[in-house]
């Protein structure tokens, strides 16, 4: 019988969701047709998501 490792936190649906949002935003940043204001807006949103995920 295996024991659960209590040192690792459970990976939640919300964490997965935030990762997918971050990936989508980063994919948008790679578009060559973005204007400077669109890039700035996306970058701001990326920073917000990273902060929410405690990545900053």
Q: What is the pLDDT of residue 1?
A: 45
Give Cβ neighbours of residue 15 (< 8 Å, ≥ 6 apart).
Answer: 53
pLDDT of 4: 56
**pLDDT classification of 56: cutoffs 50, 70, 90:** confident
Give the residue with greater pLDDT, 16 vs 56.
Answer: 16
Quickly tell me which residue has 């578009």 as its tokens. 31
pTM: 0.75
CA distances from 11 to 18, 19, 28, 41 (A): 12, 11, 26, 29
Q: Which residue has the tokens 């940043």?
A: 29
- Convert the pLDDT of each residue in 26-39 to its tens digit: 999 999 999 999 99
Q: State both tokens at 27.
A: 């994919």
Task: Give me the half-sphere count of Cα atoms (radius 13 Å) on the Cβ side of residue 34.
Answer: 16
């Amino acid at each position: 019988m295996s024991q659960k490792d209590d040192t690792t936190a459970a990976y939640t649906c919300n964490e997965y969701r935030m990762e997918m949002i971050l990936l989508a935003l980063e994919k948008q940043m790679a578009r060559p047709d973005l204007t400077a204001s669109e890039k700035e807006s996306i970058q701001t949103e990326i920073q917000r998501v990273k902060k929410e995920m405690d990545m900053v």
